[in-house]
Structure 1
Amino acid sequence: MNKYRSIIVFFLAFAAMSFAPQQASAPGDKIQWMRWEEAVAHIEQQDKKVLLNIYTDWCTWCKRMDTITFNSEPIATYINSSFYPVRLNAERRSSIEYQGKTFEFVEDGKRGYHQFAAELLRGRMSFPSVVFMDENGEVIQSIVGYKSPEEFERILTYFAEDYYKETPWSAFKRNYASKLIKKD
């Protein structure tokens, strides 16, 4: 009887977790992900940029970026110290209020999309995508596709340390020497 009770408890717990509201950070995440609403409150302090990780639940490359790139210790530490990190599901069903506008989920075929994700990505819905916003909450640039920790380090540094304001990406990339990731 105890065996069946354990199985029933397991399935009930699994079912409860499946319908629980999505958390910004999951156990084991090295990045202290925020909800969008939390980041907006911090943007008003104007002391850090925002990094938005735009993903979908079905995206294999999004999961790979979460597992490999975002859970790389030096990358996670740098993101936590330099940005307000936000995870945004591009198929989120609840509305988002930002800069006097309300963004909603749009039914479109089997899945649909969130208007805020479409706005941030300028209609280019590709996943994973990372959007960098300045200290005033204005979009600097979106980066599309999976990036390894080594690639992402360059991108993070380019935006976090304001190189994007005066240095073309091609020059920065050519001259960049890794500060975070040790080569074997």
Structure 2
Amino acid sequence: MKKTIYLVIALGFLSLNSFAQKINWVTFQEALELQKKTPKKIMMDVYTTWCGPCKMLDKNTFQNKEVADYINAHYYAVKFNGEGNESVNYKGKTFANPQYNPANANRRNSAHDLTRYLQVGAYPTIVFFDEKSEVIAPIRGYQTPTQLELYLKMFKKDDHKTIKTQEEFNAYYKAFKAEFKG
């Protein structure tokens, strides 16, 4: 009887996980190459391995079907460890993490040079890039699906180009009708 209950619970978790949509994550280098063939904006999740809100963003927001579907359709999605040790070529310059300590791989480490260049000062930060790999904006902190939806759609439609003041952004925010659930 106990085995049957455990089996039913396990199958329930498996079926719930099968509904979670997967984002097509690529490296930053891959996204930059893909942009050359098919121009699309880039959404970069700058995270660290030790960051609790980063894990919440992965679990609660990036596994939301509507979020994942929208990102997959309209963006190249990049996961970038803000304290990792990969080498990245961007804007004719190579970025690395010369102070990286492998012993600290799962805890605080030195910030990557690209992280500093993008002026990421907190994790998670989602950095949006236009079709020419120019930074649009960094969005700092944990975002729920409906909070992220605003930025995904605003940047996709280039609505940010017409917003010049905080008051204009506030009006845009108030007028925005979220459609994503969660």
> TM-score interval w.r.t. the shorter chain?
0.7 to 0.9
- Please say if 1:177 is aligned against 2:177: yes
Q: Which runs of 5+ in 1 are unaligned?
A: 1-27
Alignment correspondent of 2:85: 93
CA distance in 2: counterparts of 1:73 and 1:150, whole angstroms: 12
Q: Which has the higher helix share?
A: 2
Contact residue 21 and residue 65 of structure 2 kept, 8 A: no
Pick from 66, 76, 82: which aligns with 2:68? 76
Pick from 27, 40, 47: which aligns with 1:55? 47
Alignment correspondent of 2:99: 107
Residue identity in the other structure for 1:155: Y
Residue identity in the other structure for 1:97: N
Contact residue 43 and residue 78 of structure 2 kept, 8 A: yes
Residue identity in the other structure for 1:113: A
CA distance in 1: counterparts of 2:112 and 2:170, whole angstroms: 32
Q: Which runs of 5+ in 2 are unaligned?
A: 1-19, 102-107
CA distance in 2: counterparts of 1:139 and 1:169, whole angstroms: 18
Note the C-alpha offset of 1:115.
0.4
CA distance in 2: counterparts of 1:57 and 1:169, whole angstroms: 32
Note the C-alpha offset of 1:181.
2.7
Alignment correspondent of 1:149: 145
Note the C-alpha offset of 1:97.
1.2
CA gap of 1:38–1:108, structure 2 versus 1, over 3 A, is closer
Residue identity in the other structure for 1:156: L
Pick from 106, 123, 130: which aligns with 1:127? 123
Contact residue 47 and residue 135 of structure 1 kept, 8 A: yes
Note the C-alpha offset of 1:45.
3.1
Residue identity in the other structure for 1:119: Y
TM-score, structure 1 as length reference: 0.77
Residue identity in the other structure for 2:116: A
CA gap of 1:84–1:108, structure 2 versus 1, over 3 A, is closer
- RMSD of aligned C-alpha atoms? 1.8
Aligned residues: 153
Note the C-alpha offset of 1:29.
6.1
Identity %: 33
CA distance in 1: counterparts of 2:68 and 2:169, whole angstroms: 22
Alignment correspondent of 2:6: none
4+ runs deviating over 6 angstroms: none
